């Protein structure tokens, strides 16, 4: 009986999270109350508080259902990092493009994070998580680009300190724009082309080349 009750509690928790996604996606994070979430979930407000301390706790649990792009990029290096860093970069971003394109709930949560997440108490922890993962993503991309320079995949004079955050921010910007109008095109199909265009920019842009120090 206890086992069944535990399963039922878990099912209720997931139902509440599903409802929170719909409510936050439609109204943002700051304005809706937990009563609205409870109503959509078909449970009492007390049931919501039985699983989550407050709205911030609920919102953070909702965001745990996904991995932020930089988190996907940073998890577990493998031999491709040493042998073919650009292949690893392509592989990880192809996963992000494909998952965001194909998984409706991921898409909703990412739109909430990008566009419905006001600067309020409820969004504090997820914003800290975003900032932390963005910083780690910049560092990881810089490592990949430096290794690509060592292997001759990118120009020897590439200014990685500028190129890494530029590449990362450009890719995040593509995701932010796409979730607003996902029916315009398939991100799974077009996303890799965007990445290739950005890599061409790193190879060819004079503004991204380090200038040799002037002779004394």
- Coil/strand/helix, residue 184: coil
Quote the pLDDT of residue 1: 43
Domains and CATH numbers, the chain: 1-52 (1.10.10.60), 63-208 (1.10.357.10)
Quote the pLDDT of residue 54: 86
Q: How far apart are CA 205 and CA 186, in angstroms?
A: 28
Q: How far apart are CA 151 and CA 74, in angstroms?
A: 21
Quote the pLDDT of residue 190: 97
Regions in the chain scoring below 70 on pLDDT: 1-4, 67-81, 118-126, 129-130, 211-216
Q: How far apart are CA 128 and CA 166, in angstroms?
A: 21
Residues forming a β-bridge with 209: 158
């Amino acid at each position: 009986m206890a086992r069944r009750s535990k399963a039922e509690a878990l099912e209720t928790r997931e139902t509440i999270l599903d409802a929170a996604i719909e409510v936050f996606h439609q109204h943002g994070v700051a304005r809706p109350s937990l009563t609205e979430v409870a109503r959509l979930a078909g449970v009492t407000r007390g049931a919501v508080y039985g699983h989550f301390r407050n709205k911030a706790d609920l919102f953070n649990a909702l965001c745990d259902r996904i991995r932020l792009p930089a988190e996907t990029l940073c998890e577990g290096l493998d031999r491709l990092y040493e042998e073919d860093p650009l292949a690893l970069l392509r592989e990880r971003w192809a996963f992000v493009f494909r998952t965001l394109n194909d998984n409706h709930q991921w898409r909703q949560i990412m739109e909430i994070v990008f566009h419905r997440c006001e600067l309020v108490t409820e969004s504090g922890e997820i914003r800290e998580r975003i900032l932390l993962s963005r910083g780690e993503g910049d560092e990881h991309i810089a490592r990949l680009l430096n290794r690509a320079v060592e292997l001759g995949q990118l120009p020897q004079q590439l200014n990685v300190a500028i190129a890494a955050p530029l590449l990362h921010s450009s890719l995040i910007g593509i995701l932010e724009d796409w979730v607003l109008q996902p029916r315009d095109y398939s991100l799974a199909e077009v996303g890799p082309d965007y990445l290739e265009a950005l890599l061409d920019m790193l190879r060819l842009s004079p503004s991204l080349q380090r200038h040799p120090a002037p002779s004394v």
